[in-house]
Structure 1
Amino acid sequence: MQHRFRTAVSRIASILGLVIVSSALIAPSANAAERKRATVKKVAPSATASTKKTADRRVAVTLRSSDRQVNDRRRVSAKAGVRPVKASAVSRAPVVPAKLSFGQMAGLHEVSDPLDLKSSVALVIDQDTREVLLSKNDHAVLPIASLTKLMTGLIISEAKLPMDEPITITQDDVDTEKGSRSRLSVGTTLTRGEMLHLALMSSENRAAHALGRTYPGGLATFVSLMNAKARMLGMTDTRYVEPTGLSSQNQASARDLATLVNVAHGDPVLRELSTSPSYEVAVGRKTLQYNNTNGLVKNPTWDIGLQKTGYISEAGRCLVMQAEVAGRKLIMVFLDSAGKFSRLGDAERVRNWVESARAFGAPKMTAQKGSHG
C-alpha cells in the first residue's frame, strides 16, 4: 500500500517537473516574441520617416534639376536675345475700310462705256486731227496724283537751268502728307538732270519736290509758274498746290491733261526721260536701280512717245500717254482706274479697239458716252 502511494507521488512529481520545465522554456520564447513585436513597432516609424526623407530628397533633387533647367533656358534665352513669352489676350488690328476715290464718291464708275473700261474717266484723241475717238466723263475734275510731275518737268525743262547742277535732298523734301517712302535719304546729292529723270520715270516724290524747292525764287514761285503755264495753255480746270501730286488738291480734267500731254510730247527731254525703261544713280558707295512705273514702255509691241503714271487713294490709278497705234498718233488719258493694273489694261483695250476698227475699215472710231445705269 505504501509502495503504491510512493509510486503515485513520484509520478505526480515527474509531471509537475515537466510542467515547470516547459513553462520555463516557453516563457523566454514568448518574451522574445513580445520583445520582437515591440521592436518592430518601434522600428516601423523609423522606416517610414526614412522613406519620407528619401522621397523628400528625391523631390528636392527633382526640383533642383527643374530649377537648373529653367535657369539654363533663361541663360540660353538671354544669350540669344529672346525674352520669355507671357500669355496675353490676342489683339486684333482694326479693319480699316478702303478709302474711296473722288470719282467713286461722285458715282463716276456707274457710267458705262462700249469697251468696259475700268477707269471712271477716259479720253482718247487723235493727236494730228484732234478728233475725239473715245470720251468718258472727260469734263470731270479730279485729283491727278503724280501726273502733276509732267507739268513739273515741263517748267524745269523750259527754264533751261543747268542739268549738271547738284541738288541735295533736305528734310523739307520728306513727304509729311502721305508718308510715302523714298530711297533718296536726306543728305543725298544728285544733279538736276538725275532728279528730273527719277521724277518723270519712276515718279520719285522727293526728287520732284527738290526740283521745285531749288527753283530760282523758291517753291512758292515754282508752283505759281505751274499754274500760270496751265492758264496759258488753256487748262481752265487745272490747279496745282505743290510739284509732286501727293496733295489731292492738285486737280484737272481729262481734256486739260490731253492738252498737257500734247505740249510735253513736243519737248525731247521729257520724251526721253519719261519713256526710259530704267535708270541707275550713284548714291555714296551704292548704286540705286530705278524702273519705269509704266510697264508698257518695256513692251516691244508698244510705240510710246511720252507717258506718266500716278496714284494716291483720292485719285485712283492714273495714266497719260502719247503712243502710235495702227498708224495713228494717239493721246490717251485714264483717270481713277480701279485696280493696280487696270489702267494698263484699259490702254490695251483701247489699242485693240483701234486696231480692230482699222482692220474692218471703220471710217470713224468714236465711242459713245455711256449713261448712268
Structure 2
Amino acid sequence: MKYRLPSTRLISLSLASAFVVAMPAAVLAAPHAKARAAAHKPKATAPVEPTMTTDANGQSVPVLANKAWVLMNFDNGQILASSNPDEPLPPASLTKMMTSYLVEQGLKSGKLKPDDKVTMSESAWCRGGKDGDSCMFVPLNAQASLMDMLRGVVIASGNDASKALAEHVGGSESGFVAMMNAEAKKLGMTKTQFANAAGLPDPNNKASARDLAVLAAAIIRNSAEYYPIYAEREFTYNGIKQGNRNALLYTDPTVDGLKTGHTEEAGYCLTASAKRNGMRLISVIMNADSKQARADQTRVLFNWGYANFEQASPAQAGATLTSAKVTYGVAPTVNAGIAQPWTLVVPKGQAAAVQTAVSLNPALEAPIAKGAVIGKIVATANGKALGEAPVVALADVARAGFFERLRQRVAGWFSK
C-alpha cells in the first residue's frame, strides 16, 4: 500500500516552492552577501620581506609560494621575471577578464550599447549556497543594463552576470566560449583554452600566467574607456553592496586593476596592474595559498620591480635613425625611423648602456608610403637583447617615370 500526502499538504509544498523561486535573489542571498563583504574587507599588513634567488640570467628575483607568476612591462610585453610562466593552469575567475574584454570591445565597436537590457536566464541565475560565493544577485528572469552586468563581472565577480552576458553576446554560453578562444588566439595566448565564461572548474579551462598578463595588457590598451571600472572598490545592485576582492585597491594607490580568482583547484589567483612614475607593470599570481598570500606576493613583485628597473627610450619617435636606399624612386633615399614612442625597462643604472642596431629590408623599391615598415631596430645592453621595434619610412617616395627607371637600371648594370 502506497502512502500519499494529503492534497492540502501538496498544495502547501507547491506554494512554498513557488514562493522560494519567486523571491528576489537579493532576499535569498543578502545574509551570504553581507558575510562575503566582511570576509573581503582588506586588512592592514606589515611589508613582506621576500626570499630571493638567482635566475638563469644571474638576476636576483623573489621566491614566491605559488605554482606560477609573471611580472611584465605593459608598454612592450617584456617579461622582467617569472616562474613557470607558460604552464596551463586553472585560472578560476581570471577567466572573467576575457568575458569583460569581449563585452568592452563590443561596446567600443558599437555592436553593444551601455543601456542594452540583459536577461538573467535560469541557466545563468545564482541560486545561492555555494554558487552564491560569486554572484551579482540579479533575480531570475529579471533584466539589468549591460553596464551593470559588466560591473557585476569585474567588481562583484558574478558567475551569474558572466553567463548572462555570454548568452546575450554569443547567443549561448558555448557560442561565447568560441568567441573567447578565437580572441585568445588573436592576442597570442598560446597556452590558453577557455571552456566557460565564468571560470568555473572544468578540466578544459586553462590559462598560463604569461597569457593572462597579455590579456590584462589588451584590456588596459584596447579598453581604455572602460578600464577605470577595474579600479572601482564596490558595486551595489538590488540593494546589495559588494566590495572588490582586489585588496591592493585599498592599500596601494598606484594599483588600478584588474581581477581576482579562486576555486579549490586553482587556489588564490590575482592579476594586477600598477603605475608608478610613468612606468606600468602587470603582475599575475596563480595558485597561492590564501587571499592574503596573493596580495602579499603581488606587493612583493611590484616593489621589487620598481626598485630594480627603470625606463629607457632607445630611440625617439619621428627622429631619423638612418637613410634607406630606394630604387626606381623619384628620390634615391628615404629617411627611416620609428613611428611610435618606444620604451624599454632595464635594470636600474643601465639606461645609458643601451645600444641600438638598425637593419633594413633589402632591395627597397618605390613606391614607398610614409609609415611603411622597411626594417627593424634592436636594443641590447651588455650583449643581451632587450627588445625591438619596427622601422618605418618617414616620407613618401613616389615611383619614378619610365625613362628615369630605365636610367637607374642601366646605371645599376655598370655599378656591379
Whether the TM-score (by the shorter chain) exceeds 0.5 is yes
Distance 1:316 1:363, change over 3 A: farther
CA distance in 2, matches of 1:318, 1:170: 28
- Counterpart of 1:336 in 2: which secondary structure? strand
Equivalent residue number for residue 166 of structure 2 = 212
Q: Which runs of 5+ in 1 are unaligned?
A: 1-110, 365-373
Task: Write out per-residue CA displacement over residues 185-206 of structure 1, whole angstroms, 9 at most, x where no aligned residue.
Answer: 3234311110111101121110
Distance 1:149 1:164, change over 3 A: same
- Counterpart of 2:249 in 1: which secondary structure? helix
Of the three residues 89, 97, 104, the one matched with 1:157 is 104
Distance 1:339 1:168, change over 3 A: same
Equivalent residue number for residue 280 of structure 1 = 236
Equivalent residue number for residue 216 of structure 2 = 261
Task: Write out per-residue CA displacement over residues 52-109 of structure 1, whole angstroms, 9 at most, x where no aligned residue.
Answer: xxxxxxxxxxxxxxxxxxxxxxxxxxxxxxxxxxxxxxxxxxxxxxxxxxxxxxxxxx
- Alignment root-mean-square deviation, CA: 2.6
CA distance in 2, matches of 1:332, 1:352: 11
| Counterpart mapping for 1:18-97 below 5 A | none
Question: What is the CA distance between 1:180 and its match in structure 2?
Answer: 1.4
CA distance in 1, matches of 2:180, 2:268: 23
Question: What is the CA distance between 1:213 and its match in structure 2?
Answer: 1.3
Distance 1:358 1:152, change over 3 A: closer
Equivalent residue number for residue 146 of structure 1 = 93
Kindly indicate whether the alpha-carbon contact (under 8 Å) linking 1:118 and 1:343 is maintained by their aligned counterparts in 2: no
- Counterpart of 1:341 in 2: which secondary structure? helix
Equivalent residue number for residue 122 of structure 1 = 69
Equivalent residue number for residue 303 of structure 1 = 254
Matched, 1:235 2:180: no
Question: What is the CA distance between 1:242 and its match in structure 2?
Answer: 0.9
Equivalent residue number for residue 281 of structure 2 = 330
| Counterpart mapping for 1:173-212 below 5 A | 173-174=124-125, 179-181=130-132, 182=135, 183-212=137-166
Name the stretch that deviates more: 339-348 or 178-187: 178-187
Of the three residues 170, 177, 185, the one matched with 1:223 is 177
Task: Write out per-residue CA displacement over residues 111-163 of structure 1, whole angstroms, 9 at most, x where no aligned residue.
Answer: 97842312221110112243321110101110101111111011112123122
CA distance in 2, matches of 1:328, 1:210: 36
| Counterpart mapping for 1:346-357 below 5 A | 346-357=297-308
Distance 1:119 1:362, change over 3 A: farther
Of the three residues 238, 241, 244, the one matched with 1:292 is 244
- Counterpart of 1:214 in 2: which secondary structure? helix
* TM-score, normalised with respect to structure 1: 0.61
Q: What amino acid is the match of 2:84?
A: N
Question: What is the CA distance between 1:351 and its match in structure 2?
Answer: 2.3
Q: What amino acid is the match of 1:146?
A: S
Kindly indicate whether the alpha-carbon contact (under 8 Å) linking 2:138 and 2:144 is maintained by their aligned counterparts in 1: no
Identity of aligned residues (%): 27
Number of residues paired by the alignment?
249
Task: Write out per-residue CA displacement over residues 314-356 of structure 1, whole angstroms, 9 at most, x where no aligned residue.
Answer: 1111111221145421111111111221111001111222343
Of the three residues 198, 223, 235, the one matched with 1:244 is 198
Distance 1:158 1:186, change over 3 A: same
- Structure number with greater CO (CA < 8 Å, separation at least 6) is 1
Task: Write out per-residue CA displacement over residues 284-338 of structure 1, whole angstroms, 9 at most, x where no aligned residue.
Answer: xxx2212111021122x33224311111111111111221145421111111111
**Between Structure 1 and Structure 2, which shows a larger proportion of helix residues?**
1
Structure number with greater Rg is: 1
* TM-score, normalised with respect to structure 2: 0.55
Question: What is the CA distance between 1:270 and its match in structure 2?
Answer: 3.8
CA distance in 1, matches of 2:306, 2:350: 13
Equivalent residue number for residue 169 of structure 1 = 120
Kindly indicate whether the alpha-carbon contact (under 8 Å) linking 2:274 and 2:302 is maintained by their aligned counterparts in 1: no
Kindly indicate whether the alpha-carbon contact (under 8 Å) linking 2:70 and 2:85 is maintained by their aligned counterparts in 1: yes
Distance 1:119 1:269, change over 3 A: farther
Matched, 1:344 2:295: yes
Q: Which runs of 5+ in 2 are unaligned?
A: 1-51, 55-60, 311-346, 352-416
- Counterpart of 1:223 in 2: which secondary structure? helix
Q: What amino acid is the match of 2:228?
A: E
Distance 1:260 1:328, change over 3 A: same
CA distance in 1, matches of 2:303, 2:123: 45
CA distance in 2, matches of 1:361, 1:216: 47
Question: What is the CA distance between 1:247 and its match in structure 2?
Answer: 2.6
Equivalent residue number for residue 107 of structure 1 = none
Kindly indicate whether the alpha-carbon contact (under 8 Å) linking 2:125 and 2:138 is maintained by their aligned counterparts in 1: no
